[in-house]
Structure 1
Amino acid sequence: MRAFVFPGQGSQSVGMGQALAGASRAARDVFGEVDEALGQHLFKLMSEGPDEDLRLTANAQPAIMAHCIAVLRTLGIDLPSKAEYVAGHSLGEYSALAAAGTFGLAETAKLLRIRGDAMQAAVPVGVGAMAALLGVDIALAEQIAAACAEGEVCEVANDNDPTQVVLSGHAGAIARVVERAKEMGAKRAVSLPVSAPFHCSLMQPAADRMAEALAAAAMADPAVTLFANVTAAPTRDAATIRDQLVAQIIGRVRWRESVSAMANAGVTQFVEVGGKVLGPMIKKIAPDATTVSLVSMDDIEAFAKEL
């Protein structure tokens, strides 16, 4: 069994998709459709930068999605015949749903622009922060978060793999995490260069905004079963997915549990579309599974021969 998985924010880089667009009409069409939907030369920004503009949440989110779908359409497969499941890490869930036909491409781009703007606007710059804990499991990460909160928000944002958990919340609480985590048993704690505290309760204004946007969005049941971030469980119901995407804004990204559940359901191959960040996490969670990363034309052509 096979799952196609899609990376989240942080996987963007200047030059992304440029070589692919040069080699693939399908990729060029994707980038053109996203540009038109957003009324922006996003592909030019992806190709040429500057990096600080591409890293802005409102640009990075639709850019990463566009790159993923460009890779998938260049591969040119009927996804339901080649994959039992799809999943995505945070914003990657939108890429997964676009791949599975829940949203159209233009609709996905517009939703991600709203999502990026709303997440950035939810908390004033400097009020929130995030930190990655390395060498911890989820139980220890939760203990560290609770000990460092001291009346402020300090919550698990991403349960990435058995050795990496990301915390999110007020800047003061996250500073205490970075200061104290090692003495509490973590190997390291690293502040993340993010502009807002994603996936914690401080994001409630963004969740409210996405509830409005998703209520107005056209949605269909996915053609391939989705493993959702907030439940780490499968679903093929559009109404359920709508609610889960709202909850995802403030909820924990249960990536470790999602991969484990897919492996337990029989997935033996995970195909990362448009990035190389999820594969190493997956190998720590499901070491017996194989992983494939599709970014370049060479990657795509080699994988197509396997199918």
Structure 2
Amino acid sequence: MSCLWIHSVFIPGFFLLFGFEGFPVISVESQRSTDNITIRQGDTTVIRCYVDDKVSKVAWLNRSNIIFAGEDKWSLDPRVELVTQGQLEYSLRIQKVDVFDEGPYTCSIQTKQQSKTSQVYLIVQVPAIIYKVSEDITVNEGSNVALTCLANGRPDPAITWRLLNPSAEALDVGEYLEISGVVRSQAGRYECKASNDVSTPDVKYVNVVVNYPPYIKDVRSSETAVGQAGVLHCEASAVPQPEFEWYRDERRLSSSQSLTIQVSGSRTVLVVANVTEEDYGNYTCVATNRLGVHNASVFLYKPGMGRDINSAGCICQSLWLLLLCVSSALLQC
């Protein structure tokens, strides 16, 4: 209301003082509610004001600043220009709209009887942009993790999180994602998305690496005849990747003419090139990293002698577990 009062006092004085001739317009009563135009930052907008055949004087104002008086441009902004269609239109075009263009725009009319105005409020929207996001992090299992994703835009963007595992389920909503006592299944690529429906969402990613000690998840024993090559397999899960060692009783094994140890990532293979009677028995696979150690027993056995041991499904982590496995196998005989 105060803005309209200013116009009702300022505009007639303006016309009287400068006495310019303008275009006739279709005027709107000053009591009419203000219309809104919503435009995206960087786009071009045209604020319409139409004329009729009545002789009137017109001007464009932004707040109390004169942009055009008739055809005379008072604004120094090169992005602003008049749009006229003969004597029928007196509209205002603004190119590359920015946030500082937001506000009220008034098409002011001076008739012989009174001054009238048509006012439009320009709303400038800004696409969501993420300006700060957490860096990739590496933590030990059980630690607390806090991720940050900050964004701005007009209107304020909504921020959502997802862990891009196969299900990609939605997580917390908001700038901060907190994980208490992180576990290995929560490792992966986290997606932060900021959206406010002005443009396509802005998306950033944070990689979370969770360290944990080795766990031997699979071993394969070998039933091999004398003179043949026996192959023992061992696979472990760990972050960082584990280092492997092979033992026979208490003796650490190394590659030689009769033995070959192969390591590929999280897997290791022990190859006995030419099996003899002395080679049959229990072998121990040991996986280590800086967070811990895990071991399991693997068997090289003579055909017809070791099936019961394998069928018992035992992975023995120490000598007493090995004895328990053997005892269980003997009881099944």
Of Structure 1 and Structure 2, the greater strand share is in 2
Q: TM-score, structure 2 length as denominator?
A: 0.19
Q: TM-score, structure 1 length as denominator?
A: 0.20
Question: Highest relative contact order (Cα 8 Å, sep 6+), 1 or 2?
Answer: 1
Of Structure 1 and Structure 2, the greater helix share is in 1
